[in-house]
Amino acid sequence: MILGVDTGGTFTDFVYWDGERLHIHKVLSTPDAPERAILQGIAEMEVPLQGLTVVHGSTVATNAVLEGKGVRTLFITNRGFGDLLTIGRQAREELYNLQPKLVPPPVPFEDCLETGGRIGADGVTVEPLSEADLEQLKGEIEQRNPDAVAINLLFSFLDSEAERRIESIVPQGVFVSRSSKVLPEYREYERGITTWLNSYVGPLVEGYLERLAQGAAGAQISVMQSSGSTIAASHAGGDSVHMLLSGPAGGLAAAHFMGAQVGCSKLLTFDMGGTSTDVALIDGAVRLTSEGKIGRYPVAVPMVDMHTIGAGGGSIARVDAGGMLQVGPESAGAAPGPACYGKGGRVSTVTDANLLLGRLLPDAFLGGGMSLDRAAAERAMLSVAEALSCTLEEAAEGVIRVANEHMSHALRVISVQRGIDPRGFSLVSFGGAGGLHVCALAESLGMEQAMIPLHGGVLSALGMLVAPRGRELSRSNITLLDALEEQEIESLFLQLAQQGSDALVEEGVERKAIELLRSVDLRYRGQSFTLNLLWSGCEGAAEAFHQAHQARYGHNFDFPVELVNVRVKVRERSQLPFSLNMDLSPQQLEPNYVEMAGMGKIPVYPRAALQVGQQLDGPALITEQVSTSLVALGWCCCVDPTGVLLLNKQ
């Protein structure tokens, strides 16, 4: 028995495999205590806890960082580097603004402690860490009484001894992170920010997981990591920085799985939820990046390569002082939510616009479990219509067009701006609101194929079920490939593989079921940024790098190639316990018809009544428990045996 849970900004989604079939469910999120919504959903689904495996994506770490609500954390570094996190890369958000808004430093000056233990880039000690240094640090930590400590000494990835000694004098009960464990890579600022973030949110994540474990006693709980693999909850708190893209990573894991089921490996995905839209590109495999950001902070641990914008079903529509219609990034969230939810919302949202245009059916939302208030949506949209001097219908159409343009631009960022032609890909929509926008977005990018997975409204939760247990490990080893001994790098790969495999075995994975993926970060000597490539030996790696540089940037150089980081992905090789194949002969029902703005009467099909191989011509609405999809005029769709709707431009 496996339960996948995705905690979103508006809804918490559930997908449960009971050993024979899948069950899906949604409840409104409880942002102040996310575990409350999870326990509510488990109770409503009547899921037995004994013998249950729960895999979930958590927003606790993400929300704490974005809202600046982490714990008080001391930052310990070498003498003269106490302002390391404050200075950062001296980057400015507005390059030509001579009076930028002052932004508070990540760590207040009084909470930045300096000490010895400095080593140089060659690994030689520059300033030793003395017993007097340790005694002074211990006294300062006890005096300040922080919730957490982050240790980040220069070049600690070459020698972690000094950081370990500092870690040993931190009082019991204080959460501690050291950079040589969290991110043993070069770039002291990125390593420092990542280590600080791990401590900043670590106690919150640990506390949340403890409360969830107590409420779901008897179940085995795991957490989705930003890299798309899972980790046992007992270890997740100590590696909380790996959970910053926990939920969205589940969606990509499921999209990749669905694509493999229908034989399509080139996918552009967009996950449109209530608060935001996440877009990504899959070309054979889910792409990872070590150059991600959360808010204004760089996070250098591996995470799914994704672009996020503030455009979702709950995005608020308004007319600004210049008379321009704006949609998002502000969201109505889960409480009060869109006006049509009938929970006190008074501002118009994308969901209200879809309802007014006839794309959402008031009595079919959440499978009939929640009725939408059209009159409330009209009242909320009226202020937008009056400001634009247009009808309610025209205002609603404008809101949808603006929201679509925001999402279309995001899809171009992840594809066209990286030199990738989206016309060779299939657009995959998921999230509760995605199916209503997929055809319009595909047309805006010149794409002629799209997919709407079964249970697309809870696809991120489904991804929790198909994601393997795993770890991503790395270490910096800056050396020219020409000067590198193959035996040296093989030894480093072996160390990382052993470390990751031991962690999985501790979680109950059989060693023979573990697979390894080895890669390296390469660059031309003198460059600052790298490209990640599968390891194929020194000679093969250099040639592969020249080709990858040409494909990414349109040129390459006859320069020496330099190895920067060694990476090992360790994951469980597992067989899925369930099948997505549909019943080949469900009861076929005649469609109902509804009036849709600008299209007249169009058919409405319950998705559960569609037969494998059945074809539908647009326009048509397809309703299911957790989402509604629109097959637009000029599009047709075919029902795949897996339940995926395959859309094609006619």
Q: 326-368 pLDDT, tens per residue?
A: 998 888 876 788 899 888 888 999 999 999 998 888 887 766 6
Q: 239-259 pLDDT, tens per residue?
A: 889 988 887 888 888 888 888
| Gap between the terminal Cα atoms of the chain | 42
Q: 176-224 pLDDT, tens per residue?
A: 999 999 999 999 999 999 999 999 999 999 988 899 888 888 888 999 9
**Ranges 8-12, 335-339, 496-500, 550-554, most confident:** 496-500
Any residues with CB less than 8 A from the CB of 254 and at least 6 apart, and which?
430, 453, 459, 460, 462, 463, 466
Q: What does pTM read for this prediction?
A: 0.83
**Nearest of 436, 376, 372 to residue 400 by alpha carbon:** 436
Token representation of residue 77: 């570094």
Place of tokens 């597992």: 574
* pLDDT band of 307, cuts 50, 70, 90: confident
CA 50 centroid distance within chain: 30
| Pair type for strands 266-272 and 426-430 | parallel
> Mean pLDDT over all residues of the chain?
88
Token representation of residue 274: 């209530």
Cα–Cα distance, 293 to 301 (Å, whole number): 10
Token representation of residue 598: 């600008």
pLDDT reported for residue 317: 92
E strands along 310-445, which residues?
315-319, 325-331, 426-430
Token representation of residue 29: 């999120």
Cα–Cα distance, 512 to 506 (Å, whole number): 14
* pLDDT band of 588, cuts 50, 70, 90: low
Phi-psi region of 575 (alpha: psi -120 to 50; beta: other; left: phi over 0): beta
Cα–Cα distance, 601 to 603 (Å, whole number): 7
Cα–Cα distance, 645 to 52 (Å, whole number): 31
| Pair type for strands 73-78 and 148-151 | parallel
- Which ranges in 436-582 belong to alpha helices (H)? 438-444, 459-466, 486-506, 537-553
Rounded to the nearest 10°, the torsion over CA 307, 309, 313, 316 is: 180
pLDDT reported for residue 366: 67
Least confident interval from 88-92, 467-471, 580-584: 580-584
Enclosing H/E stretch for 594: strand 592-596
**Nearest of 378, 373, 351 to residue 363 by alpha carbon:** 373
pLDDT(110) > 70: yes
Place of tokens 């070459």: 158
**Widest CA span of the chain, in angstroms?**
82
How confident is the model over 470-497, as a mean pLDDT? 91
* pLDDT band of 545, cuts 50, 70, 90: very high
Name the CATH topology of 2-66+206-245.
Answer: Nucleotidyltransferase; domain 5 (3.30.420)
